Every structure is written in structure tokens, then in C-alpha cells.
Amino acid sequence: MSLKLSVIGAGYLGAVHAACMADLGHEVVAIDTDAAKVASLAAGQPTMYEPGLAEMLARVLPTGRLTFTTDYALAADADIHFICVGTPQRTGENAADTSYVFGSADSLAPHLTKPCLVVGKSTVPVGTAFQLRQRLQAAAPAGAGVRLAWNPEFLREGFAIEDTLTPNRFVYGVDGDTSDADVKLLDECYATPLASGIPRLVVDFSTAELVKISANAFLATKISFINAMSEVCEAAGGDVVRLAEAIGLDDRIGPKFLKAGVGFGGGCLPKDIRAFMARAGELGADQALTFLREVDSINMRRRARMVDLARQQCGGTLRTRRVAVLGAAFKPDSDDIRDSPALDVARAIQADFATVVVHDPKAMDNARRIAPELLYADTPQEAVRGAHVVLHLTEWPEYRALDPAELRGLVERPMIVDGRNALDPVKWQEAGWVYRALGRPF
């Protein structure tokens, strides 16, 4: 059955959600206050790089089922309103900034004249859904006819479409009083993916909010765990890549998210663990999450270690050295540079008086904007020309396919530090390179 939906916020989450829902056959109005973003999406041009999104927009826009607008009034007719706005880290604090969530609900409320379901998808501090329900019902002409559910999103950048259409679970946080009708409506919305047997869990508001943030906290912990083992391997002469392989074969541990390297970044994991600690503090449960402080500091130490390794490879000083940085995005298949370990390391090295030349297949424009002090090269070959050391910091497939023998002829000194443990050491060593990595005895 086709539903009328509105999606509030056309950023990463919202643009992908709106396109995917239209692709499922629903009629979708996506609203964003940024007119330039709206115009670009309406013309079929995503404002970020996400594999498959441009193709999906090209498919659904001509059907007329997907509209992008700045006008909240166009949402009035929808059966479900998805709140997909960002919750960034507050400046100078650990807590999440929920002003976009409440602000967008305030803009939407006057248009809610008929019974409808507002569904929060953003990652929020536990307790937000409850407050939002009160605020919407107080401000909307439909009053208590406006219901609320929390349906967290688990998409990964780079796999956003796949994760939206075939997530490994749907979680519905519903309000006790109206829950049956809300569950039924959400089931209609997700009927196609649910038909393929994807598990669906119905829980209360708080649990739904916590599922999302605790899943991200667990993922961050898993990465910091392996990076802590990396530190121990470095001290003891072990090999963290083989260690991860071996512990990952225990299916209680599993092999995923055990990739040691320069650590996690992006717009979610770092800010989410901080916001989670801040919220636990407000709730008087701060002790429960003190370990996340350690997760955060292990993660940040990896960046510092990378700078140290680069310095070591340059003979003890970075001054006047030329350093090539392969990668600027926080992970491959993304042009997102938010809290990117690669860019952070590049900037720290440049601040130590080296000349840093960065290459990234997709994130150069974004990187240039926030780090104009760095040099940028259009190809990896150009980036490494004359370099005293090459740092591999984002594991794009392009970098794995590089020919070390060709690059050997371009650099000043054949030194590479693999910050993602993703290159083949033997291949690089055979081509005459000194290969170093984090947590490995090279």
C-alpha cells in the first residue's frame, strides 16, 4: 500500500530515506531549510557522495513520487512524518545538540491538522522522544491526534541505500497508549523489506533511543579494543592483524569491526559516545559509561601515534619534510570529512612544519574547505612525488590497487606507513619500500 510521507531534513539520513521510501512506492515530500540543498536534490544531484543515490534519484524523480521543498506546508497531508535532522556535538561540550530536532518539530507542528504519526529517526539523547511528543501535541492543531514513534536508523555511509532497504533489524519505539495503530502504520511503510523476513522489534521510547546509541557505543568499543591490542602488540612485538583474525574466528567475537588502524571518525561514532556519556551523567548513571572515555582516548591516541610514526620515518623531525597523505575521508566510499582521522593527522603533521600533500578520490573539495593550509594533488602519483614518507590513512580500493614499483620512482624516499592495515606488505617491500604499520612488527 502506498502511503503519503514527509521527511524532515534532507541531509545524509533524510535524503537517502526519502529516496528509498519513494523507491518503495510511497509518495514523499522531503523538507529542508537549505534552499541550495533542496534545489540540488530536486535536480537529481546529491549533495554528498553516496554510491547508488544519484541513480536512485534519477529513477524516482521522474515518477513524481518524490518532491524536495523548503515549505513545511507541503507536509500537511502526510500519514507519517520522519524526523531525520542532525544531532551534532554541542560546541565545547560533549552533549548532543537537539535543537534541530525540536526546531523542525516546531516548524512542522502548525501544519499537523489531521491525525498522523511523527517518527523520529535521528540519534538522540534518551528522553527526547517523550519531550517531543508533549511539545508536538501541545502545538499541533490535531493535538493528541499527533502520535509519536521512535524508529532509529542504523545506516552506514557508503552502504546507506542497502542499509535503509535491507537493514538487519527494524526497531519501533512506540507509546503504550496508541501502539497498535502505530506499529501497523510503520509495518505498512516498510512492508516490502519486512516481507523478506527482516526482524522487527517493538519496544518503548527509551529503549528505542538507547538501542541506537548503545549499538554505536558497542561498535566504537570494538574498534578501540582492537586498537588497544595494537598498542600492546607494538610494545610486545605481536601482529594485531593476525591477532584480530584469530580472535575473530570465535563466533562470539566475530571478525567485523576488528580492523586496527588510525581509528574511527565520522559524524556518528565519536560524537555519539561523547553524547552518551553526557546523557548518562545527567541521569546519574555516569559510572556505567566511564569506559567510553577510555574508548575515546584510545581512539585519539592512534592519531597521535600515526604522527609519531611519520616523524620517526622522517628521521626524528617533520620540519621541511614532504609528507604524502593518501585519503582525507573518514572512511572509503564517502566524501565525509567530519572528524576524519586522516585529515586530523595531515593537519597535525603540517602544523609540525612539514609540507603535506593530500589525495582522496572523493573528499578533496570538502577537505580543501576545512583544511585550506594543506596541499592537494589530483592523483596519488602526484601526491607522492618527492615525498619523504607516504601515509595511507583511508582504505580506498584505489590505493590497494596502486603499483608500488611505479610510486617508488616518484618519491624522495620509499617509506610508507599503512594507517589502515589494508595494503599488502609483501608487495610494497618487494618493490623496495620500507613498510611500517600500526600494531605490526614491520
Under the binding rule (CB under 6 A), the answer on residue 216 touching ligand UGA is: yes
Question: How many residues lie near ligand UGA (CB under 6 A)?
Answer: 21
> Is 314 assigned a catalytic role?
no
Matching residue, cell 559509561:
289
Q: How far is the CB of 152 from ligand UGA (least distance, A)?
A: 8
Among 170, 205, 264, 396, binds ligand UGA (CB under 6 A): 264
Closest to ligand UGA by CB, 332 or 404: 332
Q: CA–CA separation, 276 vs 265, rounded Å?
A: 16
Q: Residue 72 gets which letter from DSSP?
A: G
Q: Which stretch binds ligand UGA (CB under 6 A): 48-56, 100-108, 147-155, 372-380?
A: 147-155
Under the binding rule (CB under 6 A), the answer on residue 259 touching ligand UGA is: yes
Q: Which residues, numbered 267-296, are part of the site for ligand UGA (CB under 6 A)?
A: 268-269
Closest to ligand UGA by CB, 154 or 291: 154
Cα distances (angstroms) measured from residue 223 to each of 129, 212, 259, 400: 29, 17, 7, 21
Q: Which residues pair with 357 in a beta bridge?
A: 324, 375
Among 4, 59, 114, 156, binds ligand UGA (CB under 6 A): 156
Q: Which stretch binds ligand UGA (CB under 6 A): 28-36, 174-182, 257-265, 347-355?
A: 257-265
Under the binding rule (CB under 6 A), the answer on residue 18 touching ligand UGA is: no
Local structure of 213: helix, strand or coil: helix
Under the binding rule (CB under 6 A), the answer on residue 100 touching ligand UGA is: no
Which ranges in 109-165 belong to alpha helices (H)? Answer: 128-139, 160-165
How many CA atoms, within 13 angstroms, populate the side-chain half-sphere of residue 405? 3
Under the binding rule (CB under 6 A), the answer on residue 418 touching ligand UGA is: no
Under the binding rule (CB under 6 A), the answer on residue 9 touching ligand UGA is: no
Q: Which residues, numbered 295-354, are part of the site for ligand UGA (CB under 6 A)?
A: 330-331
Closest to ligand UGA by CB, 30 or 78: 30
Under the binding rule (CB under 6 A), the answer on residue 123 touching ligand UGA is: yes
Cα distances (angstroms) measured from residue 419 to each of 386, 387, 436: 20, 17, 9
Q: CA–CA separation, 379 vs 214, rounded Å?
A: 39
Q: For residue 57, how far is the Cα from the chain centroid?
A: 21
**Catalytic residue, candidates 20, 84, 233, 268:** 268
Closest CA to 94 of 292, 323, 367: 292
Q: 147 with 175: CB under 8 angstroms?
A: yes
Q: Which residues bind ligand UGA (CB under 6 A)?
A: 123, 153-157, 216, 219, 223, 257-259, 261, 263-266, 268-269, 330-331
Residues noted as catalytic: 268
